[in-house]
Amino acid sequence: KAGVTQTPRYLIKTRGQQVTLSCSPISGHRSVSWYQQTPGQGLQFLFEYFSETQRNKGNFPGRFSGRQFSNSRSEMNVSTLELGDSALYLCASSPGTWASEQYFGPGTRLTVT
């Protein structure tokens, strides 16, 4: 099976712009979770989508949003970018049951200048 894919892999944006990141889960997986990883804060949960519905949300401002499509692909959007949004954004895919593992994609490295 193909793994989790994320596009783009690298992105440079300026403050105030917005960005959209994409994640394609493993075939058959219905849950997609998004995480932000920074050196200072480590891996922090952003939100999770299951069957096109947001199932849980972390403690991030409303500038961070996401959605999931009927084919389970997911996008996350960050509006009005700030310097502090520079991070590695990882998505993780799982079948969506409580007993299942999560598998991570390679991440999108976002740099905000």
Partner 1 sequence: EDKVVQSPLSLVVHEGDTVTLNCSYEVTNFRSLLWYKQEKKAPTFLFMLTSSGIEKKSGRLSSILDKKELFSILNITATQTGDSAVYLCAGRTQGGSEKLVFGKGTKLTVNP
Which residue from 19, 90, 110, 112 is in contact with partner 1, where contact means CB under 8 A? 90
Q: Does 7 bind partner 1 (CB under 8 A)?
A: no
Whether residue 95 has a cis bond before it, omega within 30° of 0: no
Q: Does 10 bind partner 1 (CB under 8 A)?
A: no
Which residue from 33, 68, 72, 74 is in contact with partner 1, where contact means CB under 8 A? 33
Count the residues of the shown chain that bind partner 1, applying the rule CB under 8 A.
26
| Cα gap 96→102, rounded to integer Å | 9
Q: Does 8 bind partner 1 (CB under 8 A)?
A: no
Distance of CA 63 to the CA centre of its chain: 13
Strand residues in the chain grouped as ranges (E)? 5-7, 10-13, 19-24, 31-38, 42-50, 53-57, 64-68, 74-78, 87-94, 103-104, 108-112
Q: Does 83 bind partner 1 (CB under 8 A)?
A: no
**Cα 110–Cα 39–Cα 3 angle in degrees, nearest 5:** 55
Which residue from 58, 65, 73, 86 is in contact with partner 1, where contact means CB under 8 A? 58
Q: Give the interface with partner 1 as residue ranges (CB under 8 A).
A: 4, 31, 33, 35, 42-45, 48, 50, 55-56, 58, 90, 92, 94, 96, 98-99, 101-107
